């Protein structure tokens, strides 16, 4: 299967040795924590691997909701909850830094010359 006709192949094979069942934990306010529980190919718990925790939240911006996500270095839900605030603060700081860098790069580029409307009208 090609990707948009560009000749790149996409492998859609499921990695049966890296399967997880997902649980969602939330405080219905700001925190959302995904706990990914390792499972085997038949869906039973894979006790040879530990759970993976991922933090999620949304911030409102003038352009709409802004999702933030960060991995949590936790081995239990209690650890994940304790780590959540710091992980979100770091994710926000990283995002702000990334946006500043993008803005600086954009300002360093020469101005784009507008050659008229970018809307293509059939028959013109």
Q: How confident is residue 4, by pLDDT bands cut at 50, 70 and 90?
A: low
Residue ranges covered by each domain of the chain = 19-108
Helix (H) or strand (E) segment spanning residue 54: strand 52-61
pTM of the prediction? 0.73
Is residue 54 within 8 Å of 36, Cβ to Cβ? yes
Shortest CA distance to 26 belongs to which of 52, 50, 57?
Answer: 57
The count of other CB atoms within 10 Å of the CB of residue 48 is 7
Residue-wise pLDDT tens digits, 70-91: 999 999 999 999 999 999 999 9
Q: Give mean pLDDT, residues 100-107.
A: 89
Residue-wise pLDDT tens digits, 5-44: 566 899 999 999 999 999 999 999 999 999 999 999 999 9
């Amino acid at each position: 299967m090609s990707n948009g006709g560009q000749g790149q192949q996409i492998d859609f094979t499921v990695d049966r040795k890296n399967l997880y069942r997902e649980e969602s934990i939330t405080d219905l306010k700001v925190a959302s924590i995904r706990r990914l529980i390792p499972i085997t190919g038949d869906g039973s718990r894979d006790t040879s691997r530990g759970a993976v925790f991922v933090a999620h939240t949304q911030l409102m911006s003038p352009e709409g909701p802004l999702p933030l996500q960060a991995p949590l270095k936790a081995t239990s839900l209690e650890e994940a909850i304790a780590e959540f605030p710091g992980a979100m603060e770091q994710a926000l700081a990283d995002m702000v830094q990334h946006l500043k860098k993008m803005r600086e790069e954009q300002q360093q580029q020469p101005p784009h010359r507008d050659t008229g409307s970018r809307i293509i009208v059939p028959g013109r």
